[in-house]
Amino acid sequence: MTTDAPARTQRPERFDPSTFEQKWRDRWEVDELYVARDDDPRPKRYDLTMYPYPSGDLHIGHWFAMTGPDIVARMHRMQGYNVMFPMGFDGFGLPAENAAIDRNIHPATWTFANIDTMRRQMRLMGASFDWTREVVTCDPDYYRWQQWLFLKLYEAGLAYKAMGAVDWCPKDKVVLAREQVVGTERRCWRCNTQVEKRDLEQWYFRITSYSDELLNFDGLDYPEPIKAMQTNWIGRSEGAEIDFPTEPDDVEPIRVFTTRPDTVFGATFMVLAPEHALVTVLTTDDRRADVEAYVASARRETEIERLNTEREKTGVFIGAYAVNPMTSERIPIWIADYVLPGYGTGAIMAVPAHDERDYEFARKFDLPIRYVVAPASGPLPEGEALVGHSADEVLIDSGEFSGMPAAEAIGAITRALEERGQGQFAVTYRQRDWVAGRQRYWGAPIPIIYCDEHGAQPVPDEQLPVVLPTDVDFAPTGVSPLQSHAAFLHAECPVCGAAARRETDTMDTFVDSSWYFLRYCSPHDDAAPFDRAKVDEWMPVHLYTGGAEHAVMHLMYFRFFTKALRDLGLVGLDEPTLKLRNQGQILGADHNRMSKSRGNVQAPDELVERYGADTVRAFLMFIGPWDQGGPWNPSGIDGIHRWLSRAWGAAVVTEGPADVADPETERALRRAAHVATGEVTDDIAEMHFNTAISRLMELTNALVRAREAGLAGTAAYAEAADTLLLLMAPFTPHTAEELWERRGHAYSVHTQSWPIADAALTATETIELPVQVDGKLRDRLVVTPDTPAEEIERMALASVHVQRYLGGQAPAKVIQIPGRLVNVVTPR
RNA sequence: GCCGGGGUGGCGGAAUCGGCAGACGCGUCGGUCUCAAACACCGAUGAGUGCAAGCUCGUGUGGGUUCAAGUCCCACCCCCGGCACCA
């Protein structure tokens, strides 16, 4: 109706972040408040959060992820640590190419423009990043050293090129590491397209050399799910390899891997993967046509979809026989697609009585089923396999091993086979080597030169970096785009100088993120990837935070890289970080992942425009546990704004002498400040930011009440208000800074010492003791902490609310938990 | 199926070395202010019952241990994430 709203600025005490937030950010920047110096004598602390991919805009999820560790880093600084909290950009990667193709601009242009935008957005949130250490992985100054590290790994045999069946994303036209294929439906982790199998020559990192070490989490404070996922992913299985001689010619024995060598007497047939090398050798002429048809169909199947694990077993007999090394029995050799070429030895001894899959197969093709393990008491199962390993099982029909407990027989039979040279203990892993090369343009070139005479040769150090040329037609074809760039492709052999070809594959971007944390320690070093002395001083990372979605990708690769570099003598570390924490994910309001295509992305900018950065930061930290996340729901942000307004009022309006000198109220306020100090400190350390903010709200409310009670001019009030600002500083750095100044203190609140809770001041004069009867709350007693137990018991029993239940009888028992409660137990 | 995490008011969530369930906030209702509305502020707010003091019930379900269970034990249900013909 009317448009004449009163101007907001006419009330000077009103909380209006737009009047001061930018001012303070600029000042912190100029004063280098958050720059970590190597020569600072205070104890060093390296707090790291995962750098983002420069997709172009920071959404509310980035703020959520980064504000938590920012709060921790800020508290650590105030606690007297020399904190390094760096930030950078994961500059290489497919989205840049895809965007570049869509918009007809160069990936470099797109990426660096996005980095500028995101840097600005990150500054807007008032995070305390040390921008002097910024790392951008697509910068030749960075990837030069990555190429250098690649060659170190190559020379150590930890990077190698080999032919193999690899996962291929038909949309991105790129190979994927096995970890980058997600879910039962085997989709590309990035674009969600179903992957295909292809036989290609690829670069690999020998991560499987570290499988056992990667399984060891001793001394690592990692979230349970991450440890479980990595452990599952590596998939260590202990068992035995057993050789089964073949008939008629015994060209070569078939080697199988089994976790149940105790069941070898029950192996009544063998199954090879259709791809197994011995299939063509062993197949008899009369079976050849059927076998070849089956192999062809199995190959086709893996290329199409092998989604249905519920389908009926298929397979064919190849006409040949093997000999069970324990029973000397001739057993038929089959091929079937349920035996996978990439696991174990690609061949199994089939023990249908003790394996569900073998059982199903035997029933379908009418093969013998022989139980060789039985429960110590009770009957054998009927119509199903006896699987699992219950402790009381013993062997039956197993020659001299009959009667032996199954658990014991595993070792005994393996040793027996070993003596005959037909078997040995063995360990198998599910984990595969990391496919490290990519057939795309926007990545770090792999620094290898191929000479007809001298084969693959590393690019000499002095020729690094192998710079990624800019004038490349990078449209994806499935072949590395650099192959069509003649000037790049042609090189001289480092050995003989003859015309040679450059490797045109580029590195997986996960290589970039496998060592960036080391580069932060000496980001401008132009003589080495990192300065060993500085790495020794800063590393390992004290607290690493980021998303859990990288459980078996980045979070495994960066551990592998650290261990590999250690073995090369380049670092003195076993692990990149000793403590890992994952934030939850902020979903769209529709409970789906935020994405542009769904249109559910919440940008922080408009919220900041309306409420200011501090309100947005605090709201994100308040909505729930930081490690949980959840759907975006802005209802409640007004509550945070109200809190900051109240804090503003409480901190600013302190003038005037105390109207009422009430020592008890004053003590209560002082106590509130110290209680809040202790709790906020603990909460930040445990990353319980939501409860920390609750405590800050409580302290604010205590101040407001104290002011109403006339305490505004007292020392206790001033101390509590100052404490509030110090505790708020990590959460709402701008508001704390502004109020710190308005209270007449010297700049900056962020260089003050973190307050310490005084236990003497948090103690109370009286405590309220709940009184229970049979565990149900019936009354409360107010006593001093030193009241003797007999006195408390007397008071409790005197209570009318207790007497009502006792009815004049003496209690059966009275239980006291000192300082906590009293429980009167009635006789029964 | 296996591994991991989780089920608490109308909502987000507190509280787990067993000891007052529901902190803090949102929302809602009532009030103050206002011509009115918004904002702000004050009060109430788990459910049921009672004039009231109070009582009963209540943390996914069913059992159990205990003076006392959201918390521990057994069995199960549901949700989320990961893996899955892994021998």
User: Beta carbon of A815 within 7 Å of strand B?
Assistant: yes
| Residue tagged 């009241």 (tokens) | A787
User: Of A615, A624, A561, A618, whose CA–CA distance to A587 is shortest?
Assistant: A624
Give the single-character DSSP code of A263.
G
Q: Is the CB of A775 under 7 A from strand B?
A: yes
Sheet holding A44-49, edge to edge: A82-84, A44-49, A543-547, A580-583
Q: How far is the CA of A624 from the C1' of B12 (A)?
A: 7
The Cα A525–Cα A519 span in angstroms is 8
How would residue A722 be classed by pLDDT, with cut points 50, 70 and 90? very high
State how far the Cα of A744 lies from the Cα of A718, in Å rounded to an integer.
11
DSSP alpha helices (H): ranges in A366-504?
406-419, 486-489
- Residue A636's nearest nucleotide, by CA–C1', is B26
Q: Which of residues 703-762 of A touch strand B (CB under 7 A)?
A: 704
Mean pLDDT, to the nearest integer, of A667-685?
Answer: 94
Distance of A4 CA from B35 C1′ (whole Å): 16
> In the numeric block, which tokens belong to residue A270?
């063998």
Q: Is the CB of A587 under 7 A from strand B?
A: no
Cβ of A232 near strand B (distance < 7 A): yes
> Most distant CA pair in chain A: distance in Å?
108
A398, pLDDT greater than 60: yes
The average pLDDT across A484-492 equals 93
CA neighbor of A132 nearest in space, from A538, A516, A524: A524
Q: At what angle do helices A733-742 and A637-652 cross, to 10 degrees?
A: 20
Q: How far is the CA of A784 from the C1' of B5 (A)?
A: 43
Contact A203, A161 (CB under 8 A): yes
Q: Can you read off the two tokens belonging to residue A725?
A: 């600002």
Residues 6+ apart with CB under 8 A from A636: A619, A622, A623
| pLDDT at A619 > cutoff 90 | yes
A431, closest nucleotide (Cα–C1'): B86
Residue A258 backbone phi and psi in degrees, to 5: -145, 145
Closest CA to A427 of A345, A341, A371, A489: A345
In this complex, the nucleotide whose C1' atom is nearest to the CA atom of residue A1 is: B37
A346 touches strand B (CB under 7 A): yes
Distance A310 CA to B6 C1' (A): 29
CB-proximal positions of chain B, under 7 Å:
3-5, 11-15, 19-21, 23-27, 36, 40-42, 54-56, 67-69, 81-87
Cα–Cα distance measured from residue A375 to residue A392, given in angstroms and rounded to the nearest whole number: 6
Question: Which amino acid, one-letter code, is at A228?
Answer: A
**Strand B at less than 7 A from CB of A463:** no
Distance from residue A772 (CA) to nucleotide B67 (C1'), in Å?
10
Q: Is the pLDDT of residue A8 over 50?
A: no
> Rounded to two decimals, what is the model's pTM?
0.93
- Predicted pLDDT at A486: 92
State the pLDDT at residue A449: 97
What is the rounded CA–CA span in Å between residue A126 and residue A128?
Answer: 6
Question: In the numeric block, which tokens belong to residue A289?
Answer: 């046509």
* Three-point CA angle A169, A175, A176, nearest 5°: 85
Residues 352-371 of A with CB under 7 A from strand B: 355, 357
> Which residues 165-224 of chain A have a CB under 7 Å from nucleic chain B?
182-184, 224
3-class SS shares of chain A: helix, strand, coil, % to 5 = 40, 20, 40
Nucleotide nearest to A775 (CA to C1'): B68
**Position A458 pLDDT exceeds 90:** yes
- pLDDT higher than 70, residue A25: yes
pLDDT, tens only, A289-306: 999 999 998 887 765 555
Residue A446's CB: how many other CB atoms inside 10 A?
Answer: 27
Neighbour-count burial for A801-815, b at 16+ CB within 10 Å, e otherwise: ebbeebeeeebeebe
Mean pLDDT (whole number) for A47-54: 96
Q: Which amino acid is at A399?
A: G
Rounded distance between C-alpha atoms, residue A202 and residue A178, angstroms:
13
Q: What is the pLDDT of residue A165?
A: 85
Asked casually if ipTM beats, i.e. exceeds, 0.85, the reply is yes
| In A614-682, beta strands by DSSP E | 629-631
State whether the beta carbon of A423 lies below 7 angstroms from any atom of strand B: no
A351, A260 contact by CB (below 8 A): yes
What average pLDDT does the segment A274-298 reach? 94
Residue A685 reports pLDDT greater than 50:
yes
3-state secondary structure A780-818: EEEECCCCCHHHHHHHHHHCHHHHHHHCCCCCCEEEEEC
Does the C-beta of A615 come within 7 A of strand B? Answer: no
**Cα A815 to chain centroid, rounded:** 46
- Alpha-carbon gap, residue A459 to A446, rounded angstroms: 9
**At A23, which amino acid appears?**
K
Q: What confidence category does residue A509 fall into, taking pLDDT thresholds of 50, 70 and 90?
A: very high
* β-strands A499-502, A448-451 pairing: antiparallel
In this prediction, residue A660 carries a pLDDT of: 58
**How would you classify residue A319: left for phi > 0, otherwise alpha for psi between -120 and 50, otherwise beta?**
left
- Mean pLDDT (chain A) is 91
